[in-house]
A and B are shown apart, each in its own frame.
Chain A
């Protein structure tokens, strides 16, 4: 079993839809949970960062972490064509831990 599992998609939604992206993980030591967005032929950019369980909201984006289920989600409200990208979840075990473990990424297309 891989440490981080993420459905690669592709996921195609109409503009304005609510998008749900998910990752599951097996390592209970993970404490920090990140979502990176990667546009085609670009480097990943940090989108959201959450510590431990709970929700975090930033504009149209909401990150949720359920440590009991080892499950994290990213919701995108009112999706826009500019949200079309690959979304990678990433996790680490603790502050100062230098090692991120990434999911394989989900490719999202938002159709106008």
Chain B
């Protein structure tokens, strides 16, 4: 099975840019890399998804190198409300259906 690795926690300050990296080996060659945000007692909320290079939407950017063995979620100018747990999700390279979750990065934004 594929395996993912994320930092357990990160701290930052309001207005700063935050980058969270997820390392993932043996991921499905035809699948996307997806990041979710989760607040306590809520379901994960989709943030951004990409296949390779760089993807940007209104809330984040996602950088994926050519070898797709990692991905970096970039949150520009964070605010207190960005305090949450962030997960990366990838498809397993050995299975047509198996999804592999990162352990989650608890991001704490300070004023």
Q: Do A and B come from one complex?
A: no
